[in-house]
Structure 1
Amino acid sequence: MLRSFSALTILALAAVALPIVSEAQAQRAQRPAQNSRAAGAAQQGSAVAQFGDWGVFTSNTPRGKVCYAASQPKTRAPANLQRDPAFFFITSRPGENVRNEVSLTLGFALRGDATVVIGPTSFAMWTQDKGAWVKNAAEEGRMITSMRAGSQLVVRSTSQRGNVTTDTYSLNGLAQALDRVAQECR
């Protein structure tokens, strides 16, 4: 069953999913401007399919088609903190030769780096404002493989205010969602 997402949700999803992310530190400084461009392009985004806890979305941008799988955490701790919604994304932008790029927005400004834990494996994430990306882009493939094999992932981070947070995501439906992303963005 396809979940209905509002235009605001699609904007929030695409604002994090669409920025150009590369290994180069120099390009990291460009992300705020790219996030603004992405938000504008997201107005044309649409929900394609729902697989378990993961949705598939597409958007057409001046640089070409963008496809991504997205999910929200099943649990957020501590539960009493007020924060914006969080999303985990896996994005493909074939026009830019980008496949399965991992990113997330945590719904609050971050202090320091974050960690994603899938089973016994941890992945370091670097952060900027409310977003996080795999610190070592060469590990994205291993992270995707771990996600496909796992049942949940846990994101551990610290807010600018010093709150230690834990968001837990279900990986139910992820493999099918990634297969659909690959089909949509060949």
Structure 2
Amino acid sequence: MGAINLENATFDAYVVVMRKITIILTALGILFATAATMAITATAQAKGPKSLLRNPGIWDAFSLTEGKGKACYMAGQPKDSKPAGVKRGPIWVLITHRPYKKIKGEVGIYVGYPLKPNSMVSIDVDKKKFKLYAVDDTAWVEDPKVEKKLVSAMRAGKKMVIRGTSKRGTKTTDSYSLKGFTRAHKAINRACKVK
């Protein structure tokens, strides 16, 4: 029988203990990383857009936390865009409230292409006409009083037609149904406590 080598036995025990510690630390690291990821995801979901309507139609309404406060917005897309086959990005009309910035009823038109510089975008709501100024691929109302009249016309109207001219000279026409506009507008007013 050979003699027992205590040095090797001690070293082997040390290796076993170190492996166990490494496994425990790795498991704790994974648990911590998972918990941190879940917390970040939950925070992002809590601050991301939240739909305000159960069954949104053509117009949908959302609220979200951004920066220092709450924002509420509604969005609609055209039911028809002409000319057909023209390559464009997303086309939207947004109405936004940011009470913490004292912004209410801001109208933003996203046409999906760069607009002709210094051009105007025209909006017809039934028989009422409005002009918006072009900035890159968007159009905005310059006067808050006109903006308020535009939103009122959209609430009362049935159809809206938006016409713009691209940087290349292409004239576009986007037709929107205003069905459900008032419902979505009331939802963002309630959510952001805007009268």
Q: TM tier, shorter chain?
A: 0.7 to 0.9
- Equivalent residues in 2 for 1:1-186, closer than 5 Å: 44-49=48-53, 50-111=55-116, 112-186=119-193
Which structure would you say has the larger Rg?
2
CA offsets per residue over residues 142-177 of structure 1, 9 Å max, x none?
111111111110100001111000001110101010
Give the whole-Å Cα distance in 2 for the aligned partners of 1:51 and 1:124. Answer: 28
Consecutive unaligned residues in structure 2, runs of 5 or more: 1-46
Q: Which amino acid aligns with 1:124?
A: K
Report the secondary structure of 1:182's partner residue: helix
Q: Which amino acid aligns with 1:74?
A: K
Shift of 1:94: 0.9
Partner of 2:23 in structure 1?
none
Query: What is the one-letter code of the residue matched to 1:99?
Result: K
In 2: Cα distance, 1:71 partner to 1:62 partner: 24
Contact 2:108 2:138 in 1 (8 A): yes
- Identity among equivalent pairs (%): 33
In the aligned structure 2, how far is the partner of 1:173 from the partner of 1:107? 23
Secondary structure of residue in 1 paired with 2:51: strand
Q: CA RMSD, aligned part only?
A: 1.3
For these two proteins, the number of residue pairs brought into alignment is 144
TM-score for both structures, normalised by structure 1 = 0.74
TM-score normalised per structure 2 = 0.71
Q: Which residue of structure 1 aligns with residue 22 of structure 2?
A: none
Counterpart of 2:50, as a letter, is S
Q: Deviations over 1:120-143 (max 9, x none)?
A: 111110111111111322201111
**Is the CA contact 1:152–1:169 (under 8 Å) kept in the aligned structure 2?**
yes
Contact 1:124-1:135 within 8 A present in 2 as well? no
The alpha carbon displacement at 1:44 in A equals: 2.1
Q: Secondary structure at the match of 1:79?
A: coil
* C-alpha distance in 2 between matches for 1:182 and 1:46: 15
CA distance in 2, matches of 1:110, 1:130: 5
Paired letter, 1:46? K
**Structure richer in helix, relative to its length:** 2
SS at match of 2:147: helix
Distance in 1 separating the partners of 2:159 and 2:108: 16
